[in-house]
């Protein structure tokens, strides 16, 4: 329902941590202290009546039919299959905000920006497809057919997904690669399985390393790599874990994980049916008042990066495997963000979200006639007022010209 520090900066952090054990311990202790704190300062509680999600009647599971669109986001696919989003897979900004808030407990601030970004970058400025091109005639102001989220590589969707393959490695970026799902699935076993953030963060590190080693065109863009790719991991636990009175933060066991990823079968015989993601029976969302907001997500970003400094990389392979070259964020941002200040406050989230807006004019060329109006719509949807963000006035995308994973991509998502 997809990184940013120079290699020099990253090596400096890693070498200092190795040379000075106290620094490594500081990283570890910072991470644990962040994890122990809730953004709103209170435990979420549990209200069964308010949190149980209806999967009967109008919201009973119905697999996609002919012409229905499904794509790389399992959560959005599940919403469409249960008619919380239109079953054809094309929805308006308001419908996305309402459905993700109602079913998953996504904060309205986060939902509003992600939904608007989808409409502006991948849709017709008011709606967008959770899969590929929706078809139909072009609306006034559009210069080409919207490609949906499946055609948004490096714009929204990105390399290094937990279960979806890298575009240049597999030829598509929207189908589950069963080998990747199995790698995640096998990290837990039995009745005590719980795919929490610790499990998912470690899996993310493994997947990024795997992409660098196997995809010669692996690329991590400022917005898609920094703000979206981490979400593909954190959202799994934050939104799919089943809440209860005993476990108000949620438990994500194997059956729930399989259901949300359209996987059936026993451990030794897992099978994937494209587009059949479903919300499990007896499933409970996040507590009311404990919505997953941009500040909450910002904390998760920092915690993961403190554990794995390589998550801070932007850059890519240069046409061969294991050829990753990083780009200094200071060069990309005109010095506003650098290797020293990215993990200060909310700067990591600030950089990722602002980079998405600053990249929008180039991404929208040839797609809409009024680029300024589209960017203003996007800017108006992002509320970072409480994060204390340094203001990013622009990004220098010429820094990415050395990466074929960036330069090969066409505006329609093909290559």
Q: What CATH number has the domain bearing residue 87? A: 1.10.489
For the whole model, what pTM was predicted? 0.90
CB 361 within 8 A of CB 411: no
CB atoms inside a 10 Å sphere around CB 21: 9
Q: What is the DSSP code (8-state) at residue 14?
A: H
Domain-embedded: residue 20? yes
In a domain, 64, yes or no: yes
State the alpha helices, DSSP H only, in 215-346: 222-223, 229-240, 254-260, 294-307, 329-333
For 272, residues 6+ apart whose C-beta sits below 8 A from its C-beta are 175, 176, 178, 181, 261, 262, 263
Q: Is residue 90 in some structural domain?
A: yes
How much is the pLDDT for 127?
98
Domain boundaries, position 122: 7-162+217-241+278-407
What is the pLDDT, as a whole number, of residue 408? Answer: 82
- Asked if the model's pLDDT at residue 28 lies above 90, the reply is no
**SS3 category, 252:** coil
Q: What is the largest CA-CA distance in the chain?
A: 62
Nearest to 234 by CA among 270, 190, 201: 201
Is 204 part of any domain?
Answer: no
1 in a domain, yes or no? no
pLDDT in tens, 271-289: 999 999 999 999 999 999 9
Could you give the count of Cα atoms lying within 13 Å of 319 in the half-sphere of its Cβ?
A: 6
Q: How many domains are contained in the chain?
A: 1
Q: How large a percentage of the chain has pLDDT more than 70?
A: 88
pLDDT band at 137 (very low <50, low <70, confident <90, very high): confident
Model confidence pLDDT, tens digit, residues 327-369: 999 999 999 999 889 989 999 999 999 999 999 998 998 899 9
Alpha-carbon distance 270 to 407, whole Å? 37
Q: Does a structural domain hold residue 194?
A: no
Q: Per the domain annotation, does 180 fall within a domain?
A: no
Each residue of 196-234: pLDDT tens digit? 999 999 999 999 999 999 999 999 999 999 889 999 999
Determine the pLDDT at residue 44: 86
User: Does residue 25 lie in a domain region?
Assistant: yes
């Amino acid at each position: 329902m997809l990184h940013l520090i120079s290699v020099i900066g990253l090596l400096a952090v890693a070498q200092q941590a190795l040379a000075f054990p106290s620094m490594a311990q500081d990283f570890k202790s910072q991470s644990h202290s962040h994890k122990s704190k809730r953004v709103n300062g209170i435990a979420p509680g549990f209200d069964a009546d308010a949190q149980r999600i209806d999967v009967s009647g109008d919201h009973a599971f119905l697999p996609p039919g002919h012409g229905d669109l499904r794509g790389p986001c399992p959560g959005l696919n599940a919403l469409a299959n249960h008619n919380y989003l239109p079953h054809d897979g094309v929805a308006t900004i308001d419908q996305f905000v309402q459905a993700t808030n109602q079913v998953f407990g996504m904060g309205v601030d986060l939902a509003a920006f992600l939904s608007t970004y989808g409409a502006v970058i991948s849709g017709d400025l008011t709606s967008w497809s959770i899969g590929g091109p929706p078809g139909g005639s072009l609306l006034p102001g559009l210069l080409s057919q919207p490609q949906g989220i499946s055609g948004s590589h490096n714009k929204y969707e990105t390399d290094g997904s937990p279960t979806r393959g890298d575009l240049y490695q597999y030829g598509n970026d929207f189908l589950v690669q069963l080998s990747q799902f199995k790698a995640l699935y096998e990290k837990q076993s039995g009745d005590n399985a719980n795919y929490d953030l610790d499990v998912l963060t470690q899996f993310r590190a493994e997947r990024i390393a795997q992409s660098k080693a196997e995809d010669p065109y692996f690329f991590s863009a400022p917005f898609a790599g920094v703000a979206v790719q981490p979400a593909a991991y954190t959202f799994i636990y934050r939104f799919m874990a089943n809440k209860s009175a005993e476990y108000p933060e949620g438990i994500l066991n194997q059956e729930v994980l399989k259901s949300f990823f359209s996987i059936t079968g026993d451990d030794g015989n897992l099978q994937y049916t494209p587009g059949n993601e479903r919300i499990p029976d007896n499933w409970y969302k996040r507590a009311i008042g404990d919505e997953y907001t941009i500040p909450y997500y910002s904390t998760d970003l920092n915690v993961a990066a403190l554990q794995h400094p390589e998550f801070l990389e932007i850059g890519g392979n240069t046409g061969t495997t294991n050829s990753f070259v990083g780009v200094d964020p200071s060069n990309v941002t005109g010095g506003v963000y650098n290797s020293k200040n990215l993990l200060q406050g909310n700067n990591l989230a600030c950089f990722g979200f602002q980079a998405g807006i600053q990249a929008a004019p180039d991404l929208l060329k040839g797609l809409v006639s009024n680029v300024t109006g589209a960017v203003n719509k996007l800017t108006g949807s992002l509320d970072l007022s409480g994060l204390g963000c340094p203001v990013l006035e622009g990004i220098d995308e010429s820094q990415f010209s050395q990466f074929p994973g960036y330069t090969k991509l066409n505006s329609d998502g093909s290559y």
